[in-house]
Chains A and B, each alone.
Chain A
Amino acid sequence: MNILRTEHLKKTFPEATSGQDSCVLDDINISIEQGETYGIIGRSGAGKSTLVRCINFLERPTGGEVYFEGKAMSALPKAGLYKTRQSMGMIFQQFNLLEQRTALKNVRYPMEIAGWSKKDADARAEELLELVNMGDKKKSYPSQLSGGQRQRVAIARAIALNPKVLLCDEATSALDPETTKGVLDLLNEINRKYGITIVIITHEMSVIEYICDRVAILDDSRVVEEGPVLSILKNPQSETGKSFVKPEFRRIRG
């Protein structure tokens, strides 16, 4: 069963200068299976962030539809959309932690907005920080943590409400190779342990190779190739796919 599916997804932005709309996503049809780790790769400006932001409707698509657990996202009223986002965690390249909150209180945030009691929220937040190996840093502020540590806190926060899906937008792009590996291992563990479907957005083939089951290659607003990672690595069909498979695009190795 697919948990996420886009159908003829389209996104255009009005262009201030030319007056003509620029098309950032054009007829995107992808289907992500429950429990898999799905990669979306593309060069800078290909539309990856826009695509992932359309999936949880941070950005409203111009056309087409996104289905989450078979339900059309565009049909959701605002309150339903907010509720649905609690089932879709998201992490970012720049971590985006609340800078005036400690690690513990960052992780507590989703529970707070979901109306948990302080006691339950604190207990769950501590448990999550242990899970991501940050138990000893719960009183630290983001400014006192390294990039890898911040991303671990962000991951704990994103999975706090047991989401069905975790969206990762260039989650390791600001990290060095060793730290990247650690974060990817953690994502892998979360995927195995809790069955959370993971969507990985990246511009690095090595990340896809390391963790993903299937991948879609995005180029110039379109999906140019899609399939199991192993077969695309072995036999890429598109020009973009071929260029990504070249060794100089690899940064980390298992």
Chain B
Amino acid sequence: MDNFISFFEHVNENTLPMLWEGTLATIYITFLSSLLAYVAGLPLGVLLVVTSKVGVHPIVWLNKLLGFIVNILRSVPFLILLIAVLPLTRAIIGTTIGTKATVVPLFIASFPFVARLVEASLIEVNEGVIEAAWSMGSTPFQIIYKVLIPEALPSLINGAAIAVTTILSYSAMSGIVGGGGLGDIAIRYGYHRYETDIMFLTVIELVVIVQIIQAIGERWAKGSDKRLKLVAGRGLFGLGRAPWAGE
């Protein structure tokens, strides 16, 4: 018991507010970065599928070019990217430290990842269904927004949970270069000041947040998947339906 209490020797009345603030900052960074990553990554993922040789609108040179760019960005380790984009961050945000500044490297690191996730989801859509859509006179654009995306929705939601949790862990890493949030706290206290107990608490928090996001994502994905007989028709909080599906 003494050991246990002495382990938390650095915990005081300031710890909780600090962790709370760190949590808010982390959530803010994660969701803003995720949102931006999807704004770019979703269309990019769609383009990767649509322009492929077997896609609904093949443009092979564009597909190769996009794939090449995505692969390059994906192959740069996040820690390196974090440092490499510092000048860009300064140019855009005006500073390289703090919450907002973290969003720049996170966005650059995650939109290609999101694009690949989206691509993997869309590729799974049954070829026969796409063929049927062609046979009814669909245009390529109609196939994208009325067939590919709605049919892949459960898988896209699953992918989003993976993307958000990955971006969350990246955001923690960005504490190294002065990004805000829980990662920043962990590095400042745990690494620079050897206050292991504070670091431990931030890690616990990160684990809990990841679990929550993953659980929501999985439930939502399952609830929206009409291929599963038992849950057909349900969705998490009614969120299961595609917003454009109507009724």
Contact = CB atoms under 8 A, between A and B. Distances in A.
Interface residues of A, number: 38
B135 interface: yes
B131 A82 contact: no
Nearest to A82: B137
Interface residues of B, number: 30
Interface string A50-92: 0000001010000000000000000000010011111011101
A94 interface: yes
B135 A113 contact: no
B226 A141 contact: yes
Given A82-B139, A113-B138, A92 B128 contact: yes
Contacts, number: 91
A86 B129 CA distance: 16
Interface in B118-160: 126, 128-129, 131-139, 142, 146-147, 150-151, 153-154
A100 B224 CA distance: 8
A112 B225 CA distance: 22
Contact of A100 (B131, B132, B226, B246): B226
Contacts of A86: 136-137
Chain A contact residues: over half helix, strand or loop, or mixed? Answer: mixed
A102 B227 CA distance: 11
A101 B242 CA distance: 10
A2 interface: no
B146 A83 contact: no
Given A99-B129, A100-B151, A144 B135 contact: no
A143 interface: yes
B43 interface: no
> Which of A110, A113, A143: most chain B Cβ within 10 A?
A113
B201 to A, nearest CB: 42
Contacts of B137: 82-86, 110, 113-114, 161
Contacts of A58: 131, 134-135
B232 interface: yes
A99 B134 contact: no
A41 B153 CA distance: 39
Contacts of A85: 134-137
A114 B137 CA distance: 8
Contacts of A84: 137
A28 interface: no
Contacts of B151: 98-100
Contacts of B94: none
B232 A144 contact: yes
Nearest to A111: B136
29 contacts: A58-B131, A79-B139, A82-B137, A82-B139, A85-B134, A85-B135, A86-B136, A86-B137, A89-B136, A90-B136, A96-B128, A96-B131, A98-B129, A99-B227, A100-B150, A100-B151, A100-B154, A100-B227, A102-B226, A113-B136, A113-B138, A139-B233, A141-B226, A143-B226, A144-B229, A158-B135, A158-B136, A161-B136, A161-B137
Interface of A: 56, 58, 79, 82-86, 88-90, 92, 94, 96-102, 105, 109-110, 112-114, 118, 139-144, 154, 157-158, 161, 167
